[in-house]
Amino acid sequence: MTNTVGLHVTGRGGNCSRATCHVYVQPTGLLDEPAVEEIEMPDTLLHQTPISRLACQVTLAAGIGSVKIRVVPEE
């Protein structure tokens, strides 16, 4: 995840290649819309839901409010 609110967030580079950063995000309406690559990637995942996102593609910004992010069970 990238952020503009001063959080320390680590990851694997954000290239959206393997979806190992699959998470559930609620509420989804507070985030930017996912890119086409992100939308297509979860289609191949077992635990894909309407609130699925790839953490490497999510940007957290100041003023976003409260967002619940849950790591998806291992595929």
Q: For the chain, where are the alpha helices, taking DSSP H only?
A: 36-40
Find all residues with CB under 8 Å of 44, minimum gap 6, and list them: 19
Structural domain count, the chain: 1
**Structural domain harbouring 53:** 2-71
* Comparison of pLDDT for 26 and 59, the residue scoring more: 26
pLDDT tens per residue across span 27-75: 767 788 888 878 777 567 778 888 888 888 888 777 777 888 898 887 6
Q: What is the CATH number of the domain that holds 36?
A: 3.10.20.30
The yes-or-no verdict on residue 25 having pLDDT over 60 is yes
Contacts of 45 (CB under 8 A, 6+ apart): 19, 22, 52, 72, 75
Q: What is the pTM of this model?
A: 0.70
- Taking CA atoms, 56 is separated from 37, 44, 64, in Å, by 12, 17, 17
| pLDDT at res. 30 | 77
Half-sphere exposure of 1 (CA within 13 A, CB side): 23
